[in-house]
Structure 1
Amino acid sequence: MTAFPIKHVDAGELSIAFADGGDPHGEPVVLLHGFPYDVHSYAEVAPMLTDAGFRVIVPYLRGHGPTRFLDPGIPRSGQQAALGADLLAMIDALDLEQPILAGYDWGGRAACVVAALWPDRVGGLVTTNGYLIQDVSGSTAPLSPQLEAGFWYFWYFATERGRRGLELNRREIAEVIWRRNSPDWSFTDAHLDEVAHAFHNPDYVDVVIHSYRHRLGLEPGAPQYDELERRLASRPPIAVPTITVDGLADGNFPASDPSRDAHLFTGPRDHRLIPHAGHNLPAEAPHAFAELIVDVAEPPGDGAGTP
């Protein structure tokens, strides 16, 4: 993201660091990364969108890169409600008018949270792997063994051995996850090194460990998010215009029938499949991902273009 300046804004619990590019008066798009990744997932997508006239904002999520907590006493929560609250606070702090939200993994979950609970604040949504809001109270329900095997790090992080492993091996754990998540993606050591800088945030380990332990029901959420989590437990529907997308080479979340979660999208919804793309879809298929954002911003018949 070296082409865009990194700025900072105080928003909610955080001083959020974000890349900001394009026409400041253009339609805003917020691009949200996952774990274990960072803003470089959008290194190619962002310039395509600014060329198409959008203002593009790419924040570092809590616990990543230069983003910092404002109060040393605030719990270093990684739960879904915290990620959604961070995103809403940033939208408010930057005075963004109905931005398009797009993301995958943690970032897609944050985008889904805001789109579901505050639809009047959102112009449209692009989310990988469908509807990502979780009913944490149902966390004890097992998945298929094949899917559970891909979540090895959930169980690793549930142990103190896993916490210590993450402290010592941040880059190495990311590499193992990347290779499983994206078997067709030929990333370089230099690219991984560049992204791994974001993992040296002082809150990275605490936020990541809490995220996975909370979703497994092993740690409570931060009290300030109890009401938000109660609302999310009902899995509220998303009414804003949405494009959901699956990569056909996603080693962690195989492409699924969109009818499975159709009842959770009550507004216009389209579903796309991207060949040869894995879990880090914007980095692996940047042109296709940029097109999704253009399409959700300008529905058919409104003159949608191609970045």
Structure 2
Amino acid sequence: MTLTSENLVGYLRAEFDKSGRIRVRLFFVQLLAAVPAAVSVVIPDHEKVVLYLLAIAAAVLLVAWWTLNEFYVTARSAAQAARRGALLLGGLDQPLSPSEIQSLRERFTVTSERARECENPDYYATKETHGPARLAEMIEESALFSEFLQRKSAHVMLGIVLFFGALFLIIALVSIPTMERDTGMVIARVLLALMVFVLSADVLGAWRLHRAAAEEIKQIRNRLMVADRAGYPMPDVLLAFADYNSAVEGCPESVPLVYGSYQKELEQRWAKYQNDRAAARAQWRGAAQ
């Protein structure tokens, strides 16, 4: 059975939905993994059974995190493969070979029924005919969405960093008067345990990567705007396609629920951009005649 661009859109939406849900679970498992360490600092040494149970809980959470991470990486990889295929097939209207179709199907982690439920023929709002111009417009639309989502994700990560920074500062200030007592040492140890969570979740790294990805994707959009005036040369479009893939696959996935919260706004923004670009095209083409 062949795969069309519409089929691949269904797969990419289903796979990204799955990876997004797994990412949320990963975050909370990482948070829970810091709990045994934080609790252990207030447990007396003679409570050996409790300490052993906390150690077992930490080990179980570590295994759970590792398992979830494997599922997350697999689902995200499948989603990215479906996205690349959807862009190429939808833009150039060239069929995939049977071997490539089989390779894609082996990578997918969702059922064909689930993918069919997620199909959307209007996922890419382009009116261009098949060819370099259509592929470029699909990349540009995807880039507009990705840039926005990456910026919003960076804001979310920065908010998490500031929240924990404020929490650490408050705990430090509160614990200063008690530093000479055991309570102060307990608070300090809890603080260190929470720091382990922040570092293991790599919140700072995610914030930096989200922000860098947004800037890189913005540059790709600018290149496609220039290519528009040149009539979308195929080499330029394919290079932008490759660079866009590199940018979105090298950055963290956007924070779950952000897309759903801004979907309508992004669709309206893209529609306005299309209208403005059509007017600009008419203007500079008229001036060239």
TM-score (norm 1): 0.24
Which has the larger helix fraction?
A: 2
Which has the larger strand fraction?
A: 1
TM-score (norm 2): 0.25
